[in-house]
Amino acid sequence: MGWKAAEKLIRHWRILRGDNVMVIRGKDKGETGVVKRVVRSQNRVIVEGKNLVKKHIKQGQGHEGGIFTVEAPLHVSNVQVIDPVTGKPCKVGIKYLEDGTKVRVSRGLGASGSIIPRPEILKIRTTPRPTVEASVVSTGDFNKDFFVTWSPNHVNTSADGHQRSLKLDQESGAGFASNQMFLFGQVDMQIKLVPGHSAGTVVAYYLTSDQPNRDEIDYEFLGNVDGKPYILQTNIFADGYDNREERINLWFDPTKDFHTYSILWNLHQIVFMVDWVPIRVYRNHAEKGVGFPRWQPMGIKVSLWNGDSWATRGGKEKIDWSKGPFLASFRNHKIDACVWNGNARFCRAESSTNWWHKDKFSSLTSTQRKLFKWVRKYHMIYDYCQDNQRFQNDLPKECSLPKY
């Protein structure tokens, strides 16, 4: 690849900081990593943990000096962006959507042709969350923030407490729950799902009030036969009533690496996000008679269990225990929410502490709306609001109301 061709890749934003890439030449050929930096003046990129070299750094300016291992830049021709669907390296092209939005898409032999989100626009905030008294910012230690709810012999936690795995076998599944209850806030969890033949398995990550008329905000990851994509189902309970399932196929393989799954819950809306891409929005239309979780505190629960009576193809695919044990892994959890102390007014108040209630989080941004529409158009496979047969042409009221 010549200088002009390489410059074009960078100048036209076809490779970006934060992209997942594969090294296609050199000592790290075939390995994948994340672009940490794009060196525009040299047509080079720095990939996290790749092309490591020894470098002597002189003592001075607050540095102790010595020989250190650093990441040397790679020429842009030596890496290719990973196709978010196939997981294989691909070329990156440009496409214009119907609304005029310019997006990147995967191109080339075997590429899926799907949109490659721009990493630099996926984050909701560019400033750190407030860390003041009334909300809790988690320790990051599973041992301190959670307790095991069942089958402790099927729960494995790293020595530093920052990573945890759950095991499912013929004996049992396992689960854990937060020590605290919360009323509004944001929760993030990085999850790597059960690899290979996972049919019949269910990984659940959700908020719940554990009452008969409970409120609940669910992620459920439904396993599949080897080679078929995972299905992500979301659901919302309000005052004990659910039947609000939506399902999508993810635009990446969630078993290969950790991905961040988030829930933003405030007085205005509930937003489900995958790697900061909004995949579902449930708006507060309580004033129009639509149920919305807003009074009951909820705790965080995570579990891995046998759901083969319904999870895969409606229960037609059962768990193949010869493929087990089945493992799901969790790390880098962040809890920034109002800790329940019995005073709903405190958690409902807009303040610098309860940042999630501020106007800037009352609806999706224009960029988030574009990403949300992209998910709905290309990755949604079931929407309860489209299921007239199920509801006998009497769809729930929220289906006719705006999402943002």
Clarify whether 220 is annotated catalytic. Answer: yes
- Report the helix count and the strand count for the chain, using DSSP H and E: 4, 26
Q: Which of 71, 98, 120, 216 is catalytic?
A: 216
Residues 6+ apart with CB under 8 A from 394: none
Exposed / middle / buried, residue 138 (Cβ in 10 Å: 0-12, 13-18, 19+): buried
Q: Which of 220, 246, 317, 398 is catalytic?
A: 220
What is the b/e burial string over 24-35, where b = at least 16 CB atoms within 10 angstroms of the residue's CB? Answer: eeeebeeebbbb
CA distances to 235, 258, 322 from 224, rounded to whole Å, are 19, 18, 15
For residues 264 and 243, what is the distance between their CA atoms, to the nearest angstrom?
20
What is the b/e burial string over 368-400, where b = at least 16 CB atoms within 10 angstroms of the residue's CB? Answer: bbbbbbbbbeebeeeebeeeeeeeeeeeeebbe
Exposed / middle / buried, residue 229 (Cβ in 10 Å: 0-12, 13-18, 19+): middle
Paired residues of 207 in beta bridges? 217, 300
Q: Quick one: tokens of 268?
A: 């205005």
Distance between alpha carbon 58 and the CA centroid of its chain, in Å? 41
Paired residues of 278 in beta bridges? 273
Eight-state DSSP code of residue 374 = H
Q: Where is 302: in which H helix or E strand?
A: strand 299-306
What is the b/e burial string over 324-339, where b = at least 16 CB atoms within 10 angstroms of the residue's CB? Answer: bebbbbbbebbbbbbb
281 — phi, psi (to 5°)? -130, 130
For residues 174 and 166, what is the distance between their CA atoms, to the nearest angstrom?
6
Q: Which amino acid is at 4?
A: K
Residues identified as active-site: 216, 220
